[in-house]
Structure 1
Amino acid sequence: MPSMSSLLTSLVVPLNLSITVLVIAVVLGLLRCRRAAALLFVGAIGWSLAWSLPGTSLWLGGALERNYPYLPAQQMPVADAIVVLGGHTANSRANWFEAYDPKTARPRIDRAAELYKAGRAGKVVLSGGALEGQVSEAQGMAHGLRQLGVPDSALILENSSRTTYENAALTLQTLQDHDIRTVLLVTSALHMPRAMAAFRKQGIAVVAAPNVPQIVPPQNPPLPRWWPDMRTMDASRSIIKEYVGLMVYRLRGWV
């Protein structure tokens, strides 16, 4: 069953909300509520237009990414373990505004492998349940980390969580079971504010170790900030998800 934040996010995704509101506007127009219909029509078009502008993502998404600045692995403190959260943002692509390129993609496990090889921690806790089928996200990440040279003996899997709240709550039990007291938390820069708040709420001693920021202006070629771009609007779901998620988590007392 979808979570409250998932339902709200689906509703306010630019195209979804705009289509819904436009249908309501048409119905109101047929009922001769023309002023209300006109306001809804303008609002629906404005919502999608705003999220199609790179400037909107740079402003609102960038505000989230800047909460916890990226630092090279060697500059991070030493902890008992590295915790990696399942999921991805904008297909892990290097730049939010560019097409996905597997050669430049930056999965979260790459960051975890760098931290491990830099000696920042001797254990890597992978958190994420199965979204479809029988293979959990934790198992998938473990496979990727083995290929990156992280030994199986260093990996600890949490295979049940499906949300950021569950990542924190179930990881807490895993950490306690293995006498792990301090952790470096790896997730996307965009997701880090909600993830850090959830882990701190559980009383975990956590330091943010975000992946490299994705919401940065491309240089070749430069992208006009105030010109509509379909890829930007498609990716905006991730930004909206974080703001809705923070709102829902605060209402539920999870952060």
Structure 2
Amino acid sequence: MFLYLSKLLPLFFYPLGLTCIFLLVALFMLWKRPRTAAIAITLALILLLFSSNAWIPNLLVRSLEWQYFPSAQIPNAEAIVVLGGATKPALPPRPGVDLNEAGDRVIYAAQLYRQNKAPVIILSGGRIDWEDNQGLAESEDMAQILTSIGIPSEALIQESESLNTYQNAVNVKKILESRGIRRILLVTSAMHMPRSLLIFKRQGIDAIPAPTDFLVTSSDMQGLASTPKAAILSLLPDSSNLHKFTGAAKEYVGIFVYRLRGWL
């Protein structure tokens, strides 16, 4: 039940969900209370403009992603741990497993393995039963991708039961203890890294952050006000900015909820 509510309830706190709520209020109040309807429409418009311009989402994402920069020299470890959320299952008409926008983490793990940063890769992630329930566990999807690009199957360890980041850490800890592994490289998207690292460290795991999939670069930030035209264009609404804002909001909501539950 917690998993279901954790996926459902936050939707009403994200810009698109809140905007829909404001517009529904306006729709029902339009004839009886037009002033209330006008206020609701105004709030919906402000919220959309606030969350879909380039300035606010980029600053919000940067506040998460730039907490852990990739090291110039990544240290060696005993295992590379890759968190799920990077694949789309092999369901028709897809010819096979696809990587989604977070798929960089799978490729990055392969690169670290080929650089001899660790001898094994632990793939952590199940499949939520109401999302693509005909697909394999995410760990199996990631294993298919990695073996297809030349990573030996004997170097892969799958953890296919976890459905959120907390379960990732708990289940991976069991694997580490059973194999006597003490130090890992934690690979996930840069925006997800602050919450993930806190959870893994809370479990007593010696995790070295190895973030990838950065959505905001220094060039992006410099370009916001590089010219007067750029500054004006940066204020215009864009769906990609709305997506960034929602992703960052999700992480901050997750950090808040996980703290309440004592997982951080």
Count of aligned residue pairs for this structure pair:
238
Check whether the contact 1:129–1:161 (CA below 8 A) recurs between aligned residues.
yes
Q: CA deviation at 1:14?
A: 1.8
SS at match of 2:49: helix
Find the aligned partners of 1:66 and 1:117 in 2 and give their Cα distance: 26
The letter of the residue matching 1:233 is: L
| Structure 2 match to 1:173 | 174
Q: 1:252 aligns with which of 254, 261, 264?
A: 261
**Residue 234 of structure 2 corresponds to which residue in structure 1?**
225
Deviation at 1:244, TM superposition (A): 1.1
Amino acid at match of 1:58: N
Deviation by residue 1:40-86 (Cα, 9 ceiling, x = unmatched): 332222111111111112100111000111235xx111111000001
Give the alignment of 1:19-168 within 5 angstroms. 19-28=20-29, 30-32=31-33, 34=35, 37-71=37-71, 75-88=73-86, 107-131=104-128, 132-168=133-169
Structure 2 letter corresponding to 1:69: F
Once residues 5 and 243 of structure 1 are traced to their aligned partners in structure 2, the CA distance between those partners, rounded to angstroms, is 13
The question of whether the paired residues in 2 share the 8 Å contact of 1:116 and 1:122 is answered with yes
Instruction: Please state if 1:15 is matched with 2:24.
Output: no
Tell me how far apart the structure 1 counterparts of residues 102 and 204 of structure 2 sit (CA, whole Å).
Answer: 33
- CA-to-aligned-CA distance 1:136-191 (integer Å, 9 cap, x gap): 10011111111222211111110000101111111111111111111000000010
Aligned CA-pair RMSD:
2.6
Counterpart-to-counterpart distance in 2, 1:106 and 1:33: 47
Kept in 2, the 8 Å contact 1:127–1:138? The answer is yes
Identity of aligned residues (%): 38
Could you tell me whether the CA contact under 8 Å between 2:48 and 2:237 is conserved in 1? no
Distance 1:15 1:105 in 2: 21
1:26 Cα shift?
4.1
Deviates more, 1:156-165 or 1:207-216: 207-216
Contact 1:64 1:193 in 2 (8 A): yes
Shift of 1:31: 5.0
Question: What stretches of structure 1 of length at least 5 have no aligned partner?
Answer: 92-101
1:33 is displaced (CA, Å) by: 8.1
Q: CA deviation at 1:30?
A: 4.8
Which shows bigger deviation, 19-28 or 123-132? 19-28
- Which ranges of structure 2 fall in alignment gaps of 5 or more residues? 89-98, 224-229
Aligned letter for 1:44? Answer: A
Distance, in Å, in 2 between the alignment partners of 1:23 and 1:15 is 12
Distance 1:188 1:124 in 2: 16
Native 8 Å contact 1:18 1:47 kept in 2: yes
Give the TM-score, by structure 1 length: 0.84
| Per-residue Cα deviation, 1:88-143 (whole angstroms, up to 9, x for no partner) | 49x9xxxxxxxxxx8x9852111101111111111110000023225110011111
Distance 2:37 2:259 in 1: 33
- Aligned equivalents of 1:56, 1:253: Cα separation in 2: 30
TM-score (norm 2): 0.81
Moved more, 53-62 or 36-45: 36-45
Q: Does the aligned pair in 2 maintain the 1:5–1:241 contact within 8 Å?
A: no
